[in-house]
Amino acid sequence: MIVIFDRQHFGKPGKSDTGAASDLDGDGVTETQEQEANLTPLYYGAAKTMLEAMGHQVVVLDSGWYPARHERANQIARNNLSQKVAYLACHINAGKGDYSVMIHDERSQNGKRLADCLARSLERQNLPGLKRHLTRSATATNEWRRGFSTIQGIYAGPPNIAGVCVEPYFIDRPEHAWIGTVSGSKIIGESLVVGILAWGL
């Protein structure tokens, strides 16, 4: 299996974008390590380590506009039609919610299966501060349209690839601050691996 982690927000040409941010340590300054695109590598990095130890191929995308990244992911899938390919657009939510959400393209049943597997795996962890684990379908016009924009090009790929926008916790909810630590993110990352494997194997 091939797993593609996209460090979204980061790497847009000519644009400084690190996504959501929150003063996690309460010192009155939002620092680099308190920004979304600098926290997602903690959880997908843990997932990458675990997957590679199991013999799976992992690709990290961290540059280009989203459509270009989607095309790169689809080309990887085209070049490996005998393997399943999971594409995870890596994010952290904002708005002080108490849930994780896995967002898939409404058109993609394969994407829905991947999103369901990821959500179920996180739910089994019974993590403090995360009361609900949601799966939501997105279109260009519904309430999840921002999530749709992070994965919309994946649907044009071959049938062996599925894409999900991953929002495992809220950067600005105090109860979730522990998840942004190395140890908390490791739990999230390894839980995502369990979900990916359930989908792919």
Average predicted confidence (pLDDT) for the chain: 94
Residue burial 28-49, b: 16+ Cβ < 10 Å; e: rest = eeeeeebbbbbbbbbbbbbbbe
pLDDT band at 177 (very low <50, low <70, confident <90, very high): confident
Q: Where are the alpha helices (DSSP H) in 7-81?
A: 36-53, 66-78
C-beta atoms surrounding 13 within 10 Å:
8
Mean pLDDT calculated for residue range 84-109: 97
164 has a pLDDT exceeding 70:
yes
- Rounded CA Rg of the chain: 16
Q: What is the pLDDT of residues 108-130, one digit of tens each?
A: 999 999 999 999 999 999 898 99
pLDDT band at 29 (very low <50, low <70, confident <90, very high): low
Task: Enumerate residues 6+ apart whose C-beta is below 8 A from 152.
Answer: 70, 105, 140
The residue type of 183 is S
Mean pLDDT calculated for residue range 147-152: 97
Is the distance from CB of 93 to CB of 101 less than 8 angstroms?
Answer: yes
The SS3 of residue 74 is helix
pLDDT band at 23 (very low <50, low <70, confident <90, very high): low
Taken in order of first residue, the domains within the chain and their CATH numbers are 2-14+31-200 (3.40.630.40)
The residue type of 182 is V
Query: Exposure of 94 by Cβ count < 10 A (0-12 exposed, 13-18 middle, 19+ buried)?
Result: middle
Mean pLDDT calculated for residue range 13-38: 79
